[in-house]
A and B are shown apart, each in its own frame.
Chain A
Amino acid sequence: MIKIAVLETQNVNKNFSGLQALKNVSVTLKKQQIIGLIGPNGSGKSTLFNLITNVISQDEETTGNILFEGKIINDQKMHLLAREGLVRTFQVTQIFPKLTVLENMLIASQFHPGENLKKVLVDVFRKLLHKSTWEEEELTFAKKAMEILDFLEISHLAKEKAEVLSGGQRKLLALGRALMTSGKVILLDEPVAGVNPVLSNRIFEKIDQLRKESTTFFIVEHNMDVIMESSDHVFVLSKGEIIADGSPKEIQENPNVLDAYLGDEGE
């Protein structure tokens, strides 16, 4: 079976006033795969995610292309990407502290009619006439959210403000929100950092299951065991360059990779 590329970067570069964070990075994500992205601290993994989702823009002189489902998305705004199905989480967990956990999840629901002001106002009158309103979709989304929260073992906190969650729970919430969007490609930046190993294994099982259904995952993870076990393909970044890519087995046997992790001490 030929799998098509859903997300691709072609020679993207990023220079932070002198520091070359990414140098001619090209990666290809095939549909329904789990792709790992590893590399030492500061090798540019998060920066690559930021470039793909346009949180920061590429260098002007040396612009490469970023393609999502075959379309160039170089300057596409992040929220439009999310709407089209390219979703991400952040390494530093981003939550809505004053919203409840359930509300956090519901923000991630896509194409919710109740998020349209006009619809909200019109539905006040429809409600009085006992016609259907956005509340139907709201309930459906809320049920879906509760299922995801249940899976992530934080459903008992649904009505708590997100600011009371612990660090690990916040990671889970951010992951839950990403799953809630039903995105086609989900970029996860260290999704299980600080999550207990049992739950983190179950999360990767879930990711594997979702992948089989239709989603593609691009995952930054420092836990080698987990990433090697679950990925179909792994890219290795070192000092802003892709130094190796291949199946987990190939990566584990590649001496360059070990060198990169040992860093300058090896020289």
Chain B
Amino acid sequence: MQTSRLYLKGHRILLIIGGWFSSFILLTFLLSFVIPNPLNLTLPLFSYAGIFGIAALSLNLEVGVTGISNFGKIAFFMVGCYTTGLMYLFKFPIFIAIPIGMVVAGFFGYLLALPTLDLREDYLAITTIAVGEIVRTVLRAETWIAWPQNRSEAGGTLGLTVENIFRSNITSDLVLGNIVLPSTLIADFLFLFSITAVFLLVYLFVEIIYNSPFGRVLKSIRDNDLAAESLGVDIVEYRIKAFVVSSALAGLAGGIWALYIVGFSPDGFPPYYTFFLWIIVIIGGIGNNRGVIFGSLLVWSIEYISRTLTGDIDTLVSRIVGILNPLSDFYQQISSHIPIIGDFLLSLNPISFFQEIVVINPPEYYPQFFFGILLILFLIYRPKGIFPERPIQTVAELAVSEHVNKTDSVIEEADGNDDRVGR
């Protein structure tokens, strides 16, 4: 039987690895025409996309598969991030610090799940938003959660500073003939490889869950909990399990984030990040894990590249406004000749309006503005995302194809009989 094909899907993993690294090379290559040092952009970009990809996969398990609207995802990310960071500062090795972060985040998910998971969907959404904010506020208010300790009088607002383990362990440059590879570059590359490896493992893990009867039950709860219950499904138990597993995965993402970003504080986890994850899931494809990987890459590319390219936005805007100034003058002249409403029209000058908008909205909001439009377009024209959800694959498929063969042969026999009668 070809059942093993249905189980691990090695070919697809290769496809994803290939896609991931070829887009890395391609993007680096394309950016080399625009900016002098493209690796400075693509290395962090892909690392962010990988870390957020893990969190987005876990969100997809909740939202796309089980139908739990979690709008406080960042809280679990933050719990994992802080726990791993603290464990690291307590001198635990990272292969213990990260799992502890996962366990604590998972346990936090369990505590939250008990009272909330039988809430109606909209109430659950509101509750989870609140939880995200509460965690952030608490971490900010607790003075002891700060490192180095001498900053503790500022409260938790300054957060923790840990170490980038790759950068601090790889200190010597690599010399290959004429080419000198700086140590930081090697360290960043190794970090990216590690993130990618974990990301792929998490992908495999969620795919195994997804393509199992367990995943099918989760989807049935999402589709119709009354029907699921009437067929013997303990919906609360399944929802709790999905929520805990997903929280632990978010904790894993947070733990890696702690080690990658090195210094972090509560204000580095705005609610915006939760919505960022939602955008990744919606654009990539709700309920499709491959879509989520793609979505993470796409959304982070937009965010990060525009963040970098708009660094110099002020000069750009003043140049545009400079070109448009004669138009503005013209508009002012015309409206000053109009009686009564002239003053009012003057205040509506579109060019100064444009300038004002740019001035009051700093460039870091541009990607958000863009995501808003993108999200609306997707929800209208492609609500299933770029990669729509597909049915789960288990050996049950064999029963169908067997069945089709059987009925086909019956039909053929019948045809054969007809022929004989015809003759």
Contact = CB atoms under 8 A, between A and B. Distances in A.
A102 B231 contact: no
B167 interface: no
Given A106-B213, A150-B403, A94 B226 contact: yes
B179 interface: no
A80 B230 CA distance: 9
Interface stretch (B93-101, B104-112, B394-402): B394-402
Contacts of B329: none
B219 A102 contact: no
Contact of B216 (A99, A121, A135): A99
Contacts of B220: 96, 99, 103-104, 107
A174 B407 CA distance: 24
Given A87-B230, A94-B224, A158-B403, A103 B216 contact: yes
Contact of B400 (A127, A141, A142): A142
Interface stretch (A111-119, A212-220, A222-230, A250-258): A111-119
A95 B224 contact: yes
A108 B231 CA distance: 5
B406 to A, nearest CB: 9
Contact of B223 (A77, A98, A112, A120): A98
B391 interface: yes
B358 interface: no
A23 interface: no
Contacts of B394: 114, 135, 138
Nearest to B389: A98
B403 A120 contact: no
A86 B216 CA distance: 22
Given A139-B395, A139-B396, A117 B219 contact: no
B267 interface: no
Contacts of B228: 96, 107
A139 B272 CA distance: 45
B212 interface: yes
B27 interface: no
A110 interface: yes
Contacts of A106: 213, 216, 396
B307 interface: no
Contacts of B407: 155
Interface string A143-165: 10110001000010011010000
Nearest to B398: A139
Interface string B180-216: 0000000000000000000000000000110011101
Interface size class of B (residues with CB under 8 A): 35 or more
Nearest to A84: B232
Contact of B391 (A83, A89, A100, A121): A100
A120 B214 contact: yes
Contact of B230 (A53, A138, A139, A161): A53
A30 interface: no
Contact of A181 (B217, B232, B235, B403): B232
A188 B224 CA distance: 19
B224 A120 contact: no
> Which one of B8, B209, B231, B235 has the highest number of Cβ atoms from chain A below 10 Å of its Cβ?
B231
B151 interface: no
B354 interface: no
> Which one of B217, B235, B400 has the highest number of Cβ atoms from chain A below 10 Å of its Cβ?
B400
Interface string A66-94: 00000000000111101100011110001
A78 B227 contact: no
A114 B398 contact: no
A79 B235 contact: yes
Given A94-B227, A134-B213, A117 B396 contact: no
Contact of B232 (A96, A110, A150): A110
A107 B216 contact: yes
Nearest to A114: B213
Contact of A177 (B3, B214, B231, B235): B231
Contact of A135 (B3, B230, B389): B3
B13 interface: no
A18 B328 CA distance: 71
A98 B219 contact: yes
Given A135-B394, A139-B398, A120 B212 contact: yes
B286 to A, nearest CB: 10
B405 to A, nearest CB: 12
B245 interface: yes
Interface of A: 53, 55, 77-80, 82-83, 87-90, 94-100, 102-104, 106-108, 110, 112, 114-117, 120-121, 124, 127, 134-135, 138-139, 141-143, 145-146, 150, 155, 158-159, 161, 174, 177, 181
28 contacts: A80-B234, A82-B231, A94-B224, A98-B219, A98-B222, A98-B223, A99-B219, A99-B220, A99-B223, A99-B391, A103-B220, A103-B392, A103-B396, A107-B220, A114-B212, A120-B213, A120-B214, A127-B7, A127-B8, A134-B213, A135-B7, A135-B394, A138-B394, A139-B395, A142-B396, A146-B399, A155-B407, A181-B232
Nearest 5 pairs of A and B residues by beta carbon = A114-B213, A142-B399, A82-B232, A142-B396, A94-B227
